[in-house]
Copies of this chain bind each other. A is one copy, B any other.
């Protein structure tokens, strides 16, 4: 405890690293047809998840994700002391209605698509400090509720530029505890708001890449590491356009991450066959990729140490229409095999 845990300017290295003992991913039809299709816990053929509107669909999906993650490790909701959750919708309605019946003390979070990293960071801090035996983290996004919130009515059939990403319909949930399982959160690097003045809300990769760069660079500084000290540095949803920018920005700072960089937004769809353009995005994108692909590889020891960096674009239709830029934020989480 205390001083020794803090690393450099923005990071913590946990002396008692909390473990990610359970995880679950729930996705929609399109995600189920993508390259990770075999790895998700639940693929729902009906993107409405049995509900009569998109927001309730997202809530139900989020609830399924938490319930499944808890069931996978035999933990009851009543044993979970804190739930850290969020989504992309105004006033977090997917989360409020999604977690309601669980009766778990809730910290609602908003960090756009970086929220998965934010929730894991705070859950890890909470468990490592001894405030809880079990804490849970959950995030979600839904293509249809996000399009309705941020862009055009689906029926309008709006054309999408090639730099645009496709919001993932998915929710990932994680259960943290002081021990158990084979993945631990060794440390975190908490991001700041980074604004390069980009104003194109249909090119989120360009908006978020500077924030990803800022957090990754700070992580390498704080821990005195090289990119090769990580088996993978995995961003949330930069997509193919943002990835190029990130690699260039990191080179300017003296680090070549091209050999270890991976992006959940690129992994989750086959962009050519699935017409998703630059890749996947949304709170759910990094969360389900972590649950379905990254964590299993870490648990099996294929990867020993990963820097997981969900990235968020901070905008609303109001700020966008008022001509504001789209700043980004990215939260880094170091996950190790154990």
Q: How far is the CB of A268 from chain B (nearest CB, A)?
A: 22
Given A90-B91, A91-B112, A91-B315, answer yes or no on A322-B56 (Cβ-Cβ < 8 Å). Answer: yes
- Determine the chain B residues whose CB is within 8 A of the CB of A106 once the complex forms: 111, 190-193, 329
A side interface size, CB within 8 A: 60
Given the complex of chains A and B, what is the CA–CA distance between A90 and B274 in angstroms?
30
- Indicate whether A40 reaches chain B with its CB closer than 8 angstroms: no
Q: Does A226 interact with chain B (Cβ within 8 Å)?
A: no
- Residues on B with beta carbons closer than 8 Å to the beta carbon of A6: 81, 131-132
- A121 nearest CB neighbor, chain B only: B107
Q: Is the CB of B107 within 8 A of A91?
A: no
This chain's copy number in the assembly? 2
A172: shortest Cβ distance to chain B, in Å?
A: 19
| A210 at the B interface (CB under 8 A) | no
Instruction: From A68-76, A93-101, A238-246, A299-307, give the one contacting chain B.
Output: A93-101
Are A104 and B192 CB-contacts (below 8 A) given A5-B130, A55-B322, A130-B5?
Answer: yes
A286-338: which residues lie under 8 A (CB-CB) from chain B?
314-319, 322, 324, 327, 329
Is there contact, CB below 8 Å, between A129 and B125? yes
Residues of A within 8 A of B (CB): 1-3, 5-6, 10, 12, 53, 55-56, 81-82, 86, 88-93, 96-97, 99-100, 103-112, 118, 121-122, 125-126, 128-132, 148-149, 190-193, 195, 314-319, 322, 324, 327, 329
